[in-house]
Chain A
Amino acid sequence: MAELKKKGLQKAGIEVYEWFEHRLGIVKPAVDAAVHPVPASAASWWYVFGSAATVLFVLQIMTGILLALVYTPSANHAWSSLQFLNNNVELGWFLRALHGWGSDFMIAIVLIHMVQVFMFGAYKFPRELTWIIGVLLLLLTLGMAFTGQVLRFDQDAYWGLGIGASIMSRVPVIGPSLVHFLLGAPIIGSATLSRFFTLHVFVIPGLLLAGVALHLLMVLRLGINEWPMPGRIVRKATYEAEYHKLNEKEGIAFVPDGAWKDAIFAAAIILSVMACAFFFGPFGPTGQPDPTIIQTAPKPDAPFLWLFAVLSLLPPEMETPIILIAPVIIIGAMLLLPLVAGEGEKHWSRRPVAVLMVSVIAVSLGIFTRLGVTTPWSPVMNAWSSNTVPQRYIHDRTPLEREGALVFQNKQCRDCHQVGGEGGQRGPALDSVATRLTEDQLVRQVLQGGGNMPAYGNALSPAETAALVAFLKTLRGNDLSPAQDASRALMGENPAEEPVPGEKSRTGKPHLSEKAPVQEK
């Protein structure tokens, strides 16, 4: 009886399925696509990044929709609605964290995917267009990261928009129009936020969805790239027949023979995003977007730190041309790559220039990102009031030299100059400045500046200058000999080398000199 019932149910189920499939007709093509043959060599752990990026994209769409349930895209309320999400909405903080970490993971995976495709020569014939669409997808992904950072609408977002507007303003002729188009208003405000909301929620995701669909269709149509072999040359005339033959010989069904690795990696990635979200929490929001609160040091999110560093290290006169021309060249080169190098060797061991390029670019991005984290070019705005002069630099010093240490502190020299390992790194550390500059040079440097140091002639009285230089003269590192003026030495005017008062000599004996007060005269 039960058997019969089961059979009846089964039959009914099949009938329902057939009713739908007869009308929809999507299951059969979907199954055909899933089991399409791929070269056995392509079922590798190296080939999982594209699918992982797609899975992360789906995660971003889902968490994004959920966040939009609460987020308010108005300049007046965006920041508070994020605070509300963080603190008042059940698990709102976790959804924000998932979306934020998902974004960082997606960029990382997309970049790894791109490097893998490049190193394996997968962009060559007939997959040139797949690569080109992939480059556009990378740009759209970065666009999502930037617009998403704006939606956080905290201090970093506000001033980040200012940076964007300032870059736009450098474009010749249409600069002002671009600024107004970007901001949607004469100043950064709600109109700006609405624009970026539209981009982040409607425009770019729409383009991404369409692009990903095309990208995937082309992978299915052209077949996944086979594992490259040294000496196996891609030729437009023969490649497709060779690929077809290879697939016939050693092809395996993508589902399930190849896809299990993709599935496991995707699960591991999602789990990693969840772990980061859980342990490290959401990103910000940092301070509220009130432009009258200027005690802030704006910084972009991780994917753009390298750019932040580049913008501060470019020489001023080259900055505008480089900002405007370099992106065109870089993006143009990426787009044209498969059209220029569509044939030839695929294997990395036969493409030293490709290996070198990837290494140099990766190391450069790493270094610039690191610099973006430490920002050695930025003055430490509170070093003058928070970092003290090390005791050994004022111990056993003359009153004038101690007064100089005070001037050094009060005139905020510490904001740019380290002493005893603390302070800004904009200028050189001064622990041994007296071994590099003579007294005259110190006075000149302080009063007139130069070499990227402002002139302090207007900010220092003669007495303050004298005291400051007296203090700087005591900074001779580990008891090194002071800098000497060669011309004076020739004339026999150079003072004989004297031990610096208070500095420990190499014997460990303090040579507290009795001459110190005499010097002061």
Chain B
Amino acid sequence: MSEQHSDRLTGDLSPEENKLQSEPKSGPKDHSRRVFLFKLSLLINGAVGVVLAVPIMRYLLGPVIQKKSSYHSWITLGNVDDFPEGETRLADYRNPSTTAWDGDTGKVACWVRRKSGNEFQVFAINCAHLGCPVRWFAESKLFLCPCHGGAYYQDGSRAAGPPERGLFEYKYRVAGAKLMINAGELPTLSTPASAQNANFVPLDKIGRATWQS
């Protein structure tokens, strides 16, 4: 076996290397043994590398692997009465998942439109074009984006400019006198403002069947 093996091996090498490796000091048998051991060492290192790569890749891709639904949760935005009927007001909340060293960047702003009574629309601050903060202009009843001039009507639908859709909207619920929204992630064209299957159970009513409301 070794005879055949070494033949094939030395055949791959250039004449100089061949000469160098088959010095008389170590016979052809010895040589083929060392080449075999070298190849074995490469194999072992390859295997160790793969085993090492698994935790490294998992660590690196941690934010990608995490279950998307775990980002979102229901948070209180304020009292319903903080938002006058027929008006659109700026509100902010602290993102459900933040660290102490996030500082102010852990805060998120949003636009709350109280249409009437308990009917709301809560818009993400981020323009649907490229995420800049839109501003509400009460007189012209428009949201305008300072970056590339996207414009939206008061109901969040696209009015003009580069956005290809309306503003992102949070799912909301009114729990007692509190306005709550389902939030937790930067909304973009492929990441939702609220969890797709956000089921609402108000904290004070846990245990009672309230989800049909």
Contacts and interface: CB of A to CB of B under 8 A. Distances in A.
Most chain B CB neighbours (cut-off 10 Å) among A158, A159, A181, A311: A159
A167 interface: yes
A327 to B, nearest CB: 16
Interface string A287-307: 011111011111000000000
A74 B102 CA distance: 7
Contact of B190 (A159, A175, A186, A296): A175
Given A76-B100, A377-B149, A289 B105 contact: yes
B160 A159 contact: no
A449 B160 contact: yes
A459 B132 CA distance: 24
A455 B151 CA distance: 11
A513 interface: no
B190 A179 contact: yes
Interface stretch (A59-67, A388-396, A408-416): A408-416
A167 B107 contact: no
Contact of A298 (B147, B164, B189): B147
22 contacts: A169-B189, A175-B188, A176-B68, A185-B63, A186-B71, A186-B185, A189-B98, A189-B99, A289-B103, A291-B104, A291-B107, A292-B92, A295-B135, A311-B130, A378-B146, A378-B147, A378-B148, A379-B146, A384-B139, A413-B140, A455-B153, A458-B141
B154 interface: yes
Given A76-B102, A175-B190, A186-B184, 8 more contacts: A75-B101, A159-B133, A163-B147, A168-B188, A190-B103, A290-B105, A316-B164, A454-B160
Contacts of B71: 186
Given A180-B66, A378-B148, A190 B102 contact: yes
A104 B99 CA distance: 34
B140 A456 contact: yes
A235 B153 CA distance: 64
Interface string B138-162: 0111101011110101100001111
Contacts of A185: 63, 97
The B interface, classified by DSSP as helix, strand, loop or mixed, is loop
B26 interface: no
B189 to A, nearest CB: 5
A308 B132 CA distance: 12
A75 B95 CA distance: 14
Contacts of A186: 71, 95, 97, 184-186
A43 B92 CA distance: 62
Given A189-B98, A190-B105, A381 B144 contact: yes
B38 interface: no
A314 B68 CA distance: 31
B145 to A, nearest CB: 8
A341 to B, nearest CB: 34
Interface in A447-461: 449, 452-456, 458-459
A179 B191 CA distance: 8
Nearest to A194: B101
A178 to B, nearest CB: 8
Nearest to B102: A189
Nearest to A182: B63
A317 interface: yes
A378 B162 contact: no
Contacts of A165: 131, 186, 188
B142 A454 contact: yes
B70 to A, nearest CB: 9
Given A165-B186, A170-B189, A185-B63, A291 B125 contact: yes
Interface in A365-394: 377-379, 381, 384
B21 to A, nearest CB: 26
A290 B107 contact: yes
A377 B129 CA distance: 14
Interface string A348-378: 0000000000000000000000000000011
B108 interface: yes
Contacts of B95: 186-187, 189
Interface in B52-83: 61, 63-64, 66, 68, 71
Interface in A310-349: 311-312, 314, 316-317, 319-320
Interface string A176-209: 1101110111111111000000000000000000
Q: Closest 10 CB pairs between A and B?
A: A76-B103, A162-B131, A169-B188, A312-B148, A454-B159, A175-B190, A290-B104, A297-B146, A294-B133, A459-B141
A311 B140 contact: no
A176 B189 CA distance: 9
Contact of A449 (B63, B104, B131, B159): B159
B37 interface: no
Nearest to B62: A184
B163 interface: yes
A319 B127 CA distance: 15
A232 interface: no
Given A185-B63, A459-B139, A288 B164 contact: no
Given A170-B189, A291-B104, A379-B146, A190 B164 contact: no
A319 B140 contact: no
A159 B146 CA distance: 11
Contact of A379 (B64, B109, B129, B144): B144
B32 interface: no
Contacts of B135: 294-295, 381
Contacts of A426: 149
A332 to B, nearest CB: 24
A312 B142 contact: no
A187 B190 contact: no
A165 B63 CA distance: 14
Contacts of A167: 130
A320 B153 CA distance: 23
Contact of A183 (B63, B101, B148, B151): B63
A77 interface: yes
B64 A181 contact: yes
A240 B110 CA distance: 65
A166 interface: yes
A512 to B, nearest CB: 32
Interface in B39-60: none
B194 interface: no
Contacts of A159: 131-133, 147
B137 A412 contact: yes
A76 B98 CA distance: 12
Interface in B159-211: 159-164, 184-186, 188-191
Contacts of B101: 74-77, 190
A176 to B, nearest CB: 5
